[in-house]
């Protein structure tokens, strides 16, 4: 993410990178602090300190974070499901994720967001730039993302899917 941002940020003086971090459990505070130091060093190495904000947010604050953002990006190397993509889409954000874990179950490439290979900072930079410059694509992804959340991830839909799975399991047993 930092490499991708550093490639495009010189062309957009008002562009900012917000890295939203969850609060660590007390037992992991030392590891968290070491990771934070490494992250800040990497940001400095790429000369984007003045355009990058790294901040810890609580779950209650995340709706505001989504509302104040223009694009949601999570370039994971591994991810079990990716609930944050559903949250971002429901908040009206276009999303970019990687082709790992359960993310492709949420994002359909070029329909409701972009899917990129992990560790491809050039493609990530291109996709971010597309979403900050192309309002038509951005609006298309926002509408499709909201539709995806309503059709696939609404609580009622999840309950129906769970019930069907239980019925199939019982009848197979």
Q: What is the pLDDT of residue 161?
A: 74
DSSP designation for 46? T
Q: What is the pLDDT of residue 145?
A: 98
Q: Which residues pair with 74 in a beta bridge?
A: 97
pLDDT, greater one: 18 or 79? 18
Give yes or no for residue 173 having a pLDDT over 70: no
Task: Note down the domain range covering 88.
Answer: 2-172
State the pLDDT confidence band at 156, using cuts at 50, 70 and 90.
confident
61 CA to centre of own chain: 16
User: Are the C-beta atoms of residues 107 and 114 closer than 8 Å to each other?
Assistant: yes
pLDDT digits (tens, 9 = 90+) for 79-121: 888 999 999 999 999 999 999 999 999 999 999 999 999 999 9
- CATH code, domain carrying 138: 3.40.50.2000
Angstrom distance (rounded) from CA 64 to CA 104: 26
How many independent structural domains does the chain possess?
1
Give yes or no for residue 160 having a pLDDT over 90: no
Give me the mean pLDDT over the 19-41 stretch: 95
């Amino acid at each position: 993410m930092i490499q991708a941002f550093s490639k495009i940020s010189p062309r957009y003086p008002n562009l900012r990178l917000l890295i939203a971090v969850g609060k660590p459990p007390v037992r992991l505070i030392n590891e968290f602090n070491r990771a934070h130091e490494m992250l800040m060093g990497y940001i400095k190495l790429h000369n984007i300190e003045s355009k990058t904000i790294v901040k810890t947010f609580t779950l209650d604050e995340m709706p505001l974070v989504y509302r104040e953002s223009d694009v949601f990006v999570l370039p994971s190397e591994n991810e079990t499901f990716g609930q944050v993509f559903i949250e971002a889409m429901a908040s009206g954000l276009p999303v970019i994720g990687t082709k790992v874990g359960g993310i492709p179950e949420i994002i359909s490439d070029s329909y409701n967001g972009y899917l990129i290979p992990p560790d491809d900072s050039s493609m990530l930079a291109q996709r971010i730039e597309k979403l900050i410059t192309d309002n038509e694509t951005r609006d298309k992804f926002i509408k499709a993302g909201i539709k995806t959340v309503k059709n696939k991830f609404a609580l009622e839909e999840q309950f129906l899917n769970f019930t069907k799975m239980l019925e199939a399991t019982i009848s197979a047993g």
